[in-house]
Amino acid sequence: MSADPSPQPVSRRLVNALLGLGALGALGGMAGAVLAYLWPQPGQAAGSDLLTGTAGPLNPQAVGEGQGVVGRSKVGKVLVVRQGGEWIGLSATCSHLGCTVSWNPASKQVECPCHGARYGLRGEVLRGPARQALGRVELKVDAQGIHVAAAGG
């Protein structure tokens, strides 16, 4: 006598239970992702004036003389440049179409990668197509990091 080679029928109840578990797992994963997105990161609480990067609060010691870095804050993206012992803050949002600008230490200019606008260290337009200056952001630097003290125009 040989064993029956035909597979055992799977009950509808078992299939429904497995589908239900799968759906619950997917919903749980989505809920976790939404909570992780909404949950504030350390130093990034809603309304925080502390500038943060991808690895947490921006460390002033990590920004060398003549260097620049973009951080996020309650006022949006801010370009921080350390120049001549001074901390200079500018809106990092290009006034042309909103791309994120960066500091070029070689040219000592703020540059937009999208359409080539250039700005000076005070936010003034040096080359179009941008027409409006970048907004100034007053910074405060302490042991905790780099803070936005005030944002102006």
Q: What is the DSSP string of 51-75?
A: -EETTEEPPGGGS-TT-EEEEEETT
Q: Is 94 in the site for ligand FES (CB under 6 A)?
A: yes
Q: Is 122 in the site for ligand FES (CB under 6 A)?
A: no
CA distance 137 to 118: 18
Half-sphere exposure of 118 toward its Cβ, with a 13 Å CA cutoff?
A: 8
Stretch near ligand FES under the rule CB under 6 A, chosen from 3-11, 17-25, 70-78, 111-119: 111-119
Stretch near ligand FES under the rule CB under 6 A, chosen from 18-26, 96-104, 132-140, 142-150: 96-104
Minimum CB separation of residue 133 from ligand FES in Å reads 13
Q: Among all chains, which residue has been given the structure tokens 């337009």?
A: 125
Minimum CB separation of residue 95 from ligand FES in Å reads 8
- Among residues 129, 133, 136, 140, which is the contact residue for ligand FES, using CB under 6 A? 129
Q: What is the CB neighbour count within 10 angstroms for residue 52?
A: 18
CA distance 13 to 18: 9
Residues that bind ligand FES (CB under 6 A): 94, 96-99, 112, 114-117, 129-130
